Amino acid sequence: MNDTNTSHNLLAFFPKDSQLSSSEVAALTQNKQSLVTVKRQLSALFKAGYLEQSGAGRSVKYSLSKKGWLLKPLDVQAYLTQAPDDRLKNPHFQFNVFEPPYVPLFAGSELEQLETATKKYRDNAARSDNATRKKELMRFIVEFSWKTSQIEGNTYDLISTERLLLYGEKSPTNTEFEAQMILNQKKALEFILDNEELWEEPKISALEALHAIVGEKLDISRNLRKTIVGITGTNYRPLESEFQIRDALELLFDAIAKSNNIYEKALWSVLGLSYIQPFVDGNKRTSRLLANAMLLAENYAPISYRSVDDRAYKEACLVFYEQNSIEPFKKLFVEQYIFAANNYNIAGDS
């Protein structure tokens, strides 16, 4: 197991759907590791399920398994110094991201951190009365509505968002569009809380209803898109056909349903929906709402993303779009969940 831990970074040398020999991997380390060491580490990664093996003897070559490319570590900043045309060999949507086999997304140490945070979240709420939890819920709604809108370019500040949502006072220095975006987030969260039974195993119809609230009075088309969309800063091309989009969503929801880990469900919701881009606009806002809907339905801490760096969030999404590595976004997710569990006191009965 020690070999697996120390060699995990070797995965970064493997492009998805490419094969490398041990000598080729050793060369990529720029002579920092001997061929004997590289061979031992590749063998450990193969036994741990991160790599697949083909050939025999001196002809053995390795390639990333699904576990390998999903959990491949990447230096985000170094990766993004490359031009978009150099980063991506296959710009198309990959259905196998959501197809079997099942891959556990969180290591034992990560799950331990998340469970410790959840216990603290529930313990704090158990010592509070209903009035306090109701006040805390409103604080979460304000901070989530502000931050999720800010990630999408909204320039409302937190204090102005609070005045808008609590007292209906619109900022004179912001646009009507920005105010409506924030109001829609609050309304969407209220819809989630009023219909918790929808989110234990989400369906496309519930997703479309949630997205309709996100886009209300913002001139955003409802229902699954029938047109092509592009994403700024990447050559990744989401699916074009409404029927393929529906198939991809069914695969995503099936993967969510088969997982018995609420953190995986939420992570797949926020990142998987962003990857599919099922709507003309409002995809990431809807994805963050969907993940929180699943967390709230099971009495886990909802994530406000209040302390997240907007650029880091977008870059982590972009890495997943292009390389299907979940690692950069997973790190962000764990940090934000722990922050939320420590800062919001709204849990119900566990």
Digit-coded pLDDT (tens) for 43-91:
999 999 999 999 888 889 999 999 999 999 999 999 999 998 888 878 9
Looking at the DSSP assignment, which residues form a beta bridge with residue 61? 54
What pLDDT is stored for residue 62 in this prediction?
96
Token pair for 332: 């962000």
DSSP element (H, E) containing 52: strand 51-54
Within 10 Å of residue 194's Cβ, how many Cβ atoms?
8
Rounded Cα gap, residues 73 and 33, in angstroms? 18
Same domain, 13 and 130: no
If asked whether residues 43 and 141 sit together in one domain, one would say no
Q: pLDDT > 90: what percent of the chain?
A: 86
Query: When comparing pLDDT for 264 and 4, which is higher?
Result: 264
The number of distinct structural domains making up the chain is 2
Task: Place 349 in a pLDDT band, splitting at 50, 70 and 90.
Answer: low
Distance CA 307, CA 176 (A): 26
Closest CA to 119 of 301, 311, 323: 301
Q: What is the CATH number for 16?
A: 1.10.10.10
Angle between helices 130-151 and 158-167 (to 10 degrees): 130
What are the pLDDT digits (tens) for 203-242? 999 999 999 999 999 999 999 999 999 998 899 999 999 9
Given a contact cutoff of 8 angstroms between Cβ atoms, the answer to whether 72 and 64 are in contact is yes
Tell me the average pLDDT across 97-103. 95
The answer to whether 307 touches 143, Cβ cutoff 8 Å, is no
Average pLDDT of every residue of the chain: 94
Domain span at 22: 2-67
Residues 243 and 279 in one domain: yes
Element of type H or E holding 246: helix 242-258
**In-domain check, residue 124:** yes
**228 domain residue, yes or no:** yes
Q: What is the CATH number of the domain that holds 225?
A: 1.10.3290.10
Same domain for 282 and 339, yes or no, is: yes
Domain termination site, one of 67, 83, 104: 67
pLDDT at 6: 54
